[in-house]
Structure 1
Amino acid sequence: MEQPKRTKKYWPLAVFVTAAFLVIVSFNLLALHPLTAGAASKVGHKTSANPEYIALDELVKGLQAATTEQEINELLFSPELINDDGSLLIEIFKQVDQWKLKRAVLYQLKNKLFFGQHNKTELASFFRELSKSSNLPLAQDALIALVQAGEKEALKALAGHLEQFTLAAYPDGKYVALPWEISRQIYKEYPQSITAKGIRAYEKISGQPFFDIDAKRFARNYGDGQYNPGKEIPGWLDWLQKYPGHLATDSAAYRLGRSYEITGDYIQALNWFFTAINSPNGAIAYDAQGRLLYVIDVKMDVEALKAALASTKLKAELKPVLEYSLAVKLARAGQYQNAVRQFQAFIKQYDNQDIFVLNKVAEPTGLSETQNSWDFWSKVKEQQAKITELSAYAQQIAEIENAQESAPLRYQLASLIYHDTYIFYNHLWQGNRIYYNWLGHINEIREQPKVKAELQNYLKEHNNYYQALEMFQELAATTLSPDLAEKVDFSIALAYAHLEYYGQEINVLWTEEEQLRLVAEAFQNYLNKYPEGNYREKAIQALIAYGLISNP
């Protein structure tokens, strides 16, 4: 269940400490098993006399047959290849022909060159030769490896390469990853390069340093206040024309998207976030994808989504994203029959397709459920089934004019919503919405009036406990049978209690103290009305658990 707990007050710090720990561990893995002459000598082919030798052809076949990144990594991080001094990996690189394999093997070779203690001469020679390749992404990755290994001439060659070709992309569309430290070196040491000129032009439009390390040491101005749409929209459109393929393209496209978002032009905002995700460098991809989903899921209502889908300006890749989101929004708005029809149309057209944003950008911490484990299509079909149930209840309720007579059905509908935390969830988030709120700095600006209002409306529409709470409260105002009245009052208390688990998210509606007061009042109200009620013991235990009364 995607909920932050109140007990996790230091959650952001935990995220970054854990992330740093994972990075350190991954680096240490590369340094484990020091390469000895004995270990390195076991690279070759099996023979009857030496059955323990690694079979090169078997490793290549295994990699070629791998269908997932996990399978590839398991082979590349096998003890044989961790102990390899680079020779075997070089041979594997030469023999594999799939781009994802070449890139994965090359990454391992770069780590060997940078962190390894043996065979640096052969590895450096391999990268120097590769840097002369006519294959642009391989040549650029090779130059980056040499720069990271400390070769000064490689920086000059890389600056020239970028001047001539800009950042290159592999056949699958993934751009070469240029570390910011190297970008900054080029910026400082080659001020007349296209790279440096583009960065200076970027800084003039944004009014901010391009490199975070060059920013003044004060709290950043997160939120809309750091953008100037009147200046930035024409500025970025001109910049993107002048510096195509520049390493700052993703950041420029992101800022352009944010500027359009601030003006209310959500279609152009989404288009430019899409461009940022798919642009060179990729440093801003996670932020751009998160913001794209934030605009769709938080800021756009049913009518805005319909208007965007009807527009010829919307990028085609975004259409299924909005079509699914419209189905979810219709369900949140209580338009269950329309939602069911929208779900049916979406699934019929796109079932099991890898629509945009699915498996596109991994969240950087590795701490939440990842795209690989989030079965989008299964969850969407489960969601459709639940919304279909809601629709059936709603149709039955609509046929009953008397509110008292329809009360049992309305209670069942509210209970169905209460018991499913993902019934109104937009599964395009793939379990990462809470993480984006932290890493995308949403939580840091949630007290800004505009943002607070957005988050209040969002919580009321997407949170199943809040929706159920409102339905229970509406029922409580109706004349009910004694049994149903007791169930409703206890359900109100439970809904308040479950909302408490949403921590900071619920604080846009109530402070922590107010939330605890509401929980206490709801359970106490139940006990006052039903001193011998069916749920008396549970209500007392709840109050004890919250520390609101002492254990008798």
Structure 2
Amino acid sequence: MNWLAGKNKEKLKDKILFLFCLMNSAGCSLAKMSKTNNLAGVIIMNKFKSLAIISVLSVLATAAFVAWGFALHPRELWAAEQSAAALEGPEAAQVAGSLSELKERLWKASGLKETYDILEFFNRLPGPDAAAAQVLLDYLKEAPRTDVWKITDALVNLMTDDQVAQLARESGAYPEANFTSYLAPVLAARAGNAAVLADAILNLQKTPASGYYRKLVETAWQKVFADPGEAARWLDEVYSRLTDPLARENLVSAVNDTACELAGDKRAAAVSWLWQAQEQEKNTAARFQQLLNLYLLGEARALGQIKELYGGLASAEEKVDIVREAANAARWRLTGAARDAVVNWLWQAAEKDPLPFSRQQCLAALVNLGEKGALERLVSDIDENGLSVLEEGGRALSPALDWQLLQEAGEKYPQSYLARGIKAYEEVRGEPYFEMERRKQQGNWDVYFYGDEQYDPEREIPGWEKFLAEFPGHPGADDAAYRLARCYEIEGRWTDALNTLRKALSLPDGDIRYHAAGRLVYVLDVRMTYDQLKELSQAREQSKKLDPSLKPLVDYSLAVKELRRDNYRQTAGMLEEFLKQYQDFGENQGALPFNQLNYQLKYDFRSSVKKQQAAVEELAALEVQWKKSGNPADLYRLAAAIFHDQTLYYNHLWSGWRQSYNWQGYINATGRGRAPVEMASFAREMINYNHCLPYFQQVYRDPSSSPELKARALYSAGLCYTGLDEWGVDAYLAFTPSEIREKIISIYQQFIREYPGSSMADDALLALGAYTGDAGYLQKIVEDYPQGDMLEKAKNLMEEMKSPYYTNRPDSLYGWPLPFKALSLDDASVPGEVSAWAAGNRAQPFTGVKTAGGWSYLLVTAGEKPTAGYSVEIISISDDGRGRLKVNYRIAAPQPGIAAAQVLTYPYALARIPATAAAVEFAEIKN
């Protein structure tokens, strides 16, 4: 694959670096629940003339990355590279023309291939060429660009020294994404004198691109300054002018990395400057890192400074950070006397530190370094104090003990607190304590189970309650509390479940904290019904038992549930009361569950709720106006306001982590059919398009609606289904993908029939072309709407369809995996008619579908078997995008040589998905 050859590999590396920089600066706080914010760049409800769906499905595969500037698919890149590589001779002459013509073509380029062809020509121009470079600079200045990576090489070649100097001074004139992606590398490559280097570093501090500091510092030390003293003075000036603390840290780190490659007087000068810089550093963690780096550079006296810094710290958390970093250096980077000195200091710290938390961390570090006697000392300390828990800043922290250390301690010291707790844990759970052992025993290394099926509340509740009473300081205490909370949850003991999940956040050893934080919000937001939350919030006896810190979470979640019932006025009042009653909620670190996870990024909960409350007030006013006037145009305005707010129904207790928690399988462990039933209702309630769709449909059906309003309402209903199609896997819990697409197509076909003269007719045709892969709809735009604003887009899409890589034809759709719920016939949620249908088909091998009560039930039976040990499993359900579902299943027989009970059995598998009329194909997967 040529696209990874040579410079392109470096560009891909820079591209990935840029993605992670952006994610870091944005905090990955993805409060929006859809997988992409826009519909391939298209939905603007208040601009009816320009409504369109621009190449919707050509973007679907990369929609999640478009916002980060990382949308290019490898095969697209490969095709573009091949096209550019072939740009020789006569073809080059066709592209060339005058510079003004090239500029016009670049601005009008609509496809990846065309853009790459033009940029390749710029790459072939001899440099420097100020005029050509200015064309590219203006192109980057006008708007954020994605996937124009060739532009960097061209600018490095074409820009004059004066242009580079101006760029270093005026980086703010460019969109940040463009500067970070394309221009920062230019500065790193071309900055060639002290002034330009300084300006570049100062401007880079305003962007996520400070990773280029090392290149700039390296240039200064190795190419610009012959005198090491001049280089140090230059650094002093630059350092003093930096205003961002993180930028200062990055500059120091860049000097440290450069010093590793210097020798003689230059190295000595760089090291001397690093000593001065650490004296100016106010941040303890940053200063320690600088001292550790100096020690790694061979500066032995830095260890004395580290000891002094450690001894003066009052925060055990800061102490532990130092211990961990020092131990990692000793384990991986230091040798000989330098390593021995660090090990000796860790022993001294373990002897003298009065705090169990940092003392235990020192001992754990020494165990990992292979120090004799460290494990015995650690086990003894835990026998006396339990595994220490430190509560700072609203968070609970425990020393990090890896599983091999715990396993070794349990085996060597069977009477210790650790060993006895491990044994007690295994007795309650009925499985090995260590996850690696559990997976080995199960023979399953790649699937996590989070469904209710893995819990036995009747047996586990008393067992875990006893365990927590006897071993509250054990590393397994938080795991035990989590499992106990899940059992309470299954039993409907909501107060106990929430209290115990809150408790799990503060118990050792803390490795369950992410699970517990997410489950706490999940129970409030998804699992509990409106009535259950209301009872918990308002019933005096229940409220008394609830941990006081949970009351705000319950009250806010109830308000969100009220909003999802479309009771706008009541919700507005509830949110207003919440903000008034809990004025300090969200300010301290520990109030929000996810804020206890030690992430540096914080979520502005209060501002988010204020914004939500204002939006609900607006909806309440629009609803009042509609009910007062009875005018369908007022109802349309209400629907449009809902349509435009994807976060309207979002519970901000998630703090932007709901998608992350979901994607990691904690909610939808869909690979093994563990999509919980409550997620279907949740998806319908949370997705804004599902709320406004009935309003648009009502406006369309209203006899008093004007023809223009009817047209807008019908078109908007299509956009709602498009929003569901773009939403992601959550929507598939409640809506079948191919049926959504069929709705889109049928609505826009209806629109064309009823409103061919509408200003949105060409938009509807464009959507039909995109969703059907039929170029005939696009040709109709060319023929019937030559003056419309969709003409160029239609032509471009027709051109894309000619490519062998175009993937939106019905015969080339990949389809989607569907979440499903695996059921038992003993499950109380299975309707009687379904149970009877399944029971009647178990005697013979059978596959079939039955729809009842808003669900479709998929049944696979193996028929009558002479012994136990047979099983049927539905492995996956997928939607091919063309109105057909495929169910893959496996039938397993007893293992040879293993005795099986001689009894007639009727193995089966039953699964549930949202009701569908799609054709279903069953396929047995043979081992």
TM exceeding 0.5:
yes
1:96 aligned to 313, 317, 320, which one?
313
1:53-452 alignment runs, 5 A limit: 53-54=275-276, 57-59=279-281, 62-63=282-283, 72=285, 74-78=286-290, 81-85=292-296, 87=303, 88-118=305-335, 119-132=338-351, 133-172=353-392, 173-215=396-438, 216=441, 217-218=443-444, 219-310=447-538, 311=542, 312-352=544-584, 353-354=587-588, 356-357=591-592, 360-362=595-597, 372=601, 374-400=603-629, 405-445=630-670, 451-452=675-676
Gaps of 5+ in 1: 15-28, 65-71, 364-369
Query: Could you say which residue in structure 1 is the equivalent of 2:80?
Result: none
SS of 2:508's partner is coil
Q: Which moved more, 1:280-289 or 1:131-140?
A: 131-140
| 1:342 maps to amino acid | M
Gaps of 5+ in 2: 1-31, 37-59, 71-252, 297-301, 780-927
Q: Which moved more, 1:119-128 or 1:329-338?
A: 329-338
Q: Which moved more, 1:475-484 or 1:318-327?
A: 475-484
SS of 2:546's partner is coil
Alpha-carbon distance in 1 for matches of 2:279, 2:653: 40
CA contact (8 A) 1:167 1:245 kept: yes
Q: Which moved more, 1:438-447 or 1:140-149?
A: 438-447
CA contact (8 A) 1:250 1:276 kept: yes
Query: Could you say which residue in structure 1 is the equivalent of 2:61?
Result: 7
| TM-score when normalising by structure 2 | 0.52
SS of 2:631's partner is helix
Alpha-carbon distance in 2 for matches of 1:284, 1:180: 14
| 2:329 maps to amino acid | K
| 2:324 maps to amino acid | Y
When residues 37 and 346 of structure 1 are mapped into structure 2, their CA distance, relative to the original with a 3 A threshold, is farther
CA contact (8 A) 2:515 2:666 kept: no
Root-mean-square deviation (Å): 3.1
Displacement of 1:410 in angstroms is 1.3
Alpha-carbon distance in 2 for matches of 1:148, 1:334: 56
Alpha-carbon distance in 1 for matches of 2:658, 2:752: 37
| 2:480 maps to amino acid | A
Displacement of 1:296 in angstroms is 0.6
CA contact (8 A) 1:229 1:260 kept: yes
Query: Could you say which residue in structure 1 is the equivalent of 2:235?
Result: none
1:503-514 alignment runs, 5 A limit: 503-514=728-739
Alpha-carbon distance in 1 for matches of 2:501, 2:414: 29
Provide, for residues 69-119 of structure 1, a one-character-per-residue CA deviation record: whole Å limited to 9, x for no partner.
xxx4x55555x6434346143332123334443333333222222222241
Alpha-carbon distance in 1 for matches of 2:706, 2:64: 46
Q: Is residue 700 of structure 2 the alignment partner of residue 476 of structure 1?
A: yes
| 1:196 maps to amino acid | A
When residues 373 and 539 of structure 1 are mapped into structure 2, their CA distance, relative to the original with a 3 A threshold, is farther
Query: Could you say which residue in structure 1 is the equivalent of 2:140?
Result: none
Query: Could you say which residue in structure 1 is the equivalent of 2:686?
Result: 462
| TM-score when normalising by structure 1 | 0.84
Alpha-carbon distance in 2 for matches of 1:497, 1:534: 19
The total of aligned residue pairs comes to: 509
Larger helix share, 1 or 2: 1
Alpha-carbon distance in 2 for matches of 1:520, 1:543: 6
Q: Which moved more, 1:491-500 or 1:387-396?
A: 387-396
| 2:333 maps to amino acid | G
Alpha-carbon distance in 2 for matches of 1:371, 1:63: 15
CA contact (8 A) 1:358 1:371 kept: no
When residues 210 and 8 of structure 1 are mapped into structure 2, their CA distance, relative to the original with a 3 A threshold, is farther
Displacement of 1:320 in angstroms is 1.1
CA contact (8 A) 2:34 2:727 kept: yes
Alpha-carbon distance in 1 for matches of 2:602, 2:360: 33
Provide, for residues 476-496 of structure 1, a one-character-per-residue CA deviation record: whole Å limited to 9, x for no partner.
332221111111100000010
Displacement of 1:271 in angstroms is 0.9
Q: Which moved more, 1:412-421 or 1:333-342?
A: 333-342
When residues 140 and 42 of structure 1 are mapped into structure 2, their CA distance, relative to the original with a 3 A threshold, is farther
Alpha-carbon distance in 1 for matches of 2:273, 2:399: 39
When residues 101 and 10 of structure 1 are mapped into structure 2, their CA distance, relative to the original with a 3 A threshold, is same
SS of 1:334's partner is coil
Query: Could you say which residue in structure 1 is the equivalent of 2:792?
Result: none
Alpha-carbon distance in 2 for matches of 1:42, 1:96: 30
Query: Could you say which residue in structure 1 is the equivalent of 2:239?
Result: none
Alpha-carbon distance in 1 for matches of 2:567, 2:306: 57
Larger strand share, 1 or 2: 2
CA contact (8 A) 1:251 1:284 kept: yes
CA contact (8 A) 2:594 2:655 kept: no
Displacement of 1:301 in angstroms is 2.6
1:4-43 alignment runs, 5 A limit: 4=35, 7=61
Displacement of 1:328 in angstroms is 1.4
Alpha-carbon distance in 1 for matches of 2:466, 2:656: 37
Alpha-carbon distance in 1 for matches of 2:273, 2:467: 61
| 1:84 maps to amino acid | Y
SS of 1:360's partner is helix
| 2:341 maps to amino acid | E
Provide, for residues 262-284 of structure 1, a one-character-per-residue CA deviation record: whole Å limited to 9, x for no partner.
11111111111111111111111
| 2:414 maps to amino acid | P
Alpha-carbon distance in 2 for matches of 1:187, 1:521: 65
Alpha-carbon distance in 1 for matches of 2:631, 2:657: 38
Alpha-carbon distance in 2 for matches of 1:243, 1:468: 52
Alpha-carbon distance in 2 for matches of 1:536, 1:381: 39
Provide, for residues 178-203 of structure 1, a one-character-per-residue CA deviation record: whole Å limited to 9, x for no partner.
22232222123322222122112111
When residues 375 and 129 of structure 1 are mapped into structure 2, their CA distance, relative to the original with a 3 A threshold, is same
